[in-house]
Structure 1
Amino acid sequence: MSSNVRITLHPSFEVLAATTAARLITRLLDVQSERGEATVVLTGGSVGIATLREVAKSPAHLAVDWGKVNFWFGDDRFVPAGSADRNCLQAAEALLDHVPVDPSRVHTMAASDTVDGLEEAVAQYAAELAAAAQTEWENDDASPAQAPAFPRFDVLLLGLGPDAHIASLFPEMAGIRTKGVSVVGVRNSPKPPPLRVSLTLEVINSAQEIWLVAAGADKAAAVGLGLAGANAVQVPASGARGINKTMWLLDQTAAAKVPGALMRGEH
């Protein structure tokens, strides 16, 4: 396991969500202090959405300049815009509707009733990523010779399925194998609904920091395999590696199958 991987245990789901929220607020403040704005990639799932609720509840969230936070999504379900299955709708209800965000900085994936098919949704999000990257490139005096296909992500949040999927990249399916593009369409997802849009692993791993957040005994096997360095095609979570840091934020039950040597930092 890479030396930039950190494992942090929490006694319960509630403490995990509250602590992750506090950590996120602190990170956004630090990045804004350095660069003026910050970019976070949000995730769905029970812990991901609970974390956003805790951010909204925390008095410390008032210190963040929410108008200068860029929001992206790691994946979303390709269902109608008003569906409760939409990660972006859940995120709005939990946090984004309660803080003064700049709507132009909230980048949601297209719903099934707003575009003509899954591939159009994929193309739209890829184009939006590329446009944001182009703007960053034009404003950066130290930019590389050519604009990248996606912007800088300061923090990328990931949930974890019992099968070790991350975003909507499922074991052995085409999405986890996809390279050379920023966004992929997922068909026949083993977890309903069947159609989804997801960032690729290549883009996920461009993040400065990746935070994998998991709670519950049903996640323990996936966490253990992910931290043991299993092949990413079989265990997508094992392939998530941030440029500067990868954090596994776990409750006690989710960490039940993590080898003791890893918990002691012997890697």
Structure 2
Amino acid sequence: MQKKKEEKDDEKIDHSPRHLFQYPDGPSQATFFRFDDVEEVSSALAEYIVQVSNEAIKQRGKFTFVLSGGSIVKALRFLAEGPVFHSIAWDKWHVFWVDERVVPLNHEDSNYKLAKDEFLSKVPIPHEQIHAIQNFHDEKAAAHAYESKLRELVRKKVITTKTAKKFPRFDFVLLGLGPDGHVASLFPNRPSLAEEKLWVLPISNSPKPPSKRITMTLPCINAAEHVAFVALGSGKAHVLHRVLERPALPGSLPAQMVRVDDGNLVWFADQGATSELHLENWNNAKQFPFFDFKQPASVSS
């Protein structure tokens, strides 16, 4: 009798293996903005960042802004110009990097150098509030040091955390989109996509040079209050179509795994990047059941 009961209990247990990469249940929810060109995208992005910055500073007296590398840093130029520049409380900003190459900070491959040249040198953020990685030659040491710095800033209440999962809750994370669907330095089908505890990981074999990098993990990104993707130009059209309109095997398109836990996910794209999308059919739940995109007319709406 006992044996039959145990066999019946075993039938209730799901013994199927857990996939290494997990998607949350339900469609991905986000807001999607499409503009004519890079200038319009840059202007709208600046407007959105100002809104989020002002809100965060009003609530907490600080704004935590996480940058990526690549050409999207150039899209921040409207923040450093005209009335927008003067509307920002720059002394309340704290700047971080979602990923970085393990090279000297003055190296041409450094995300810090790119951000400094294109943006940070043009705005008066206090130097001690620009949180670059330390100049280590070892990616493991660099990742450990950066996570330690983030944890210290959490203790000092510069960065808040999500109550349940204890990941840092940045106010704003800015992401680009790699041609293979990678985000930060999280590349397709790598074990790094399955990390569930650490905030920052070392990458020793990036498929794009330089090979040594550090990167924030997906839970760290998804814990943010606001996450914004920027996709510009026809060179991004195919990968944007894959990410937004074609459900992929888990892990094959890291950008599909960016699903903000309790915040806002926003896409900014120009006409070139959206040329392969079928926007007119996005409201067809049968055709596109795996995402739920709003398409407002403007950032302010």
Whether the TM-score (by the shorter chain) exceeds 0.5 is yes
- Give the distance between the partners of 1:23 and 1:15, measured in 2 at CA: 12
- Give the distance between the partners of 1:40 and 1:204, measured in 2 at CA: 12
Which deviates the most, 227-236 or 190-199?
227-236
| Structure 1 segment 31-42 matched on structure 2, within 5 A | 31-42=56-67
Which of 197, 205, 216 matches 2:233?
216
Decide whether aligned partners of structure 1 residues 231 and 179 sit closer, same or farther in structure 2, where only a CA change above 3 A counts.
Answer: farther
Shift of 1:163: 0.6
1:7 matched residue in structure 2 = 32
Which structure has the larger Rg? 2
Decide whether aligned partners of structure 1 residues 262 and 153 sit closer, same or farther in structure 2, where only a CA change above 3 A counts.
Answer: farther
Query: Where does structure 2 lack aligned partners over 5 or more consecutive residues?
Result: 1-25, 286-291, 293-301
Which deviates the most, 250-259 or 152-161?
250-259
Which deviates the most, 206-215 or 61-70?
61-70
- Give the distance between the partners of 2:73 and 2:137, measured in 1 at CA: 29
CA contact (8 A) 1:8 1:249 kept: yes
Shift of 1:260: 2.9
1:53 matched residue in structure 2 = 77
CA contact (8 A) 2:67 2:173 kept: yes
CA contact (8 A) 1:208 1:244 kept: yes
TM-score normalised by the chain length of structure 2: 0.78
Decide whether aligned partners of structure 1 residues 178 and 218 sit closer, same or farther in structure 2, where only a CA change above 3 A counts.
Answer: same
- Give the distance between the partners of 1:3 and 1:132, measured in 2 at CA: 30
Decide whether aligned partners of structure 1 residues 8 and 127 sit closer, same or farther in structure 2, where only a CA change above 3 A counts.
Answer: same
CA contact (8 A) 1:231 1:239 kept: no
Q: May I ask how many residue pairs the two structures share in their alignment?
A: 259
Q: Once superposed, which parts of structure 1, at least 4 consecutive aligned residues long, lie more than 6 Å away?
A: none
Which of 86, 97, 121 matches 2:121?
97
1:198 matched residue in structure 2 = 215
- Give the distance between the partners of 2:214 and 2:284, measured in 1 at CA: 35
Shift of 1:161: 0.8
| Structure 1 segment 55-70 matched on structure 2, within 5 A | 55-70=79-94
2:112 matched residue in structure 1 = 88
Partner AA of 2:69 in structure 1: G
TM-score normalised by the chain length of structure 1: 0.88
- Give the distance between the partners of 1:134 and 1:262, measured in 2 at CA: 47
Give SS of 1:226's match.
helix
- Give the distance between the partners of 2:209 and 2:133, measured in 1 at CA: 17
Shift of 1:36: 1.7
Which of 156, 170, 195 matches 1:153?
170
Give SS of 1:97's match.
helix
Q: Percent identity?
A: 29
Root-mean-square deviation (CA, aligned residues, Å) is 2.5
Which of 128, 132, 142 matches 1:108?
132
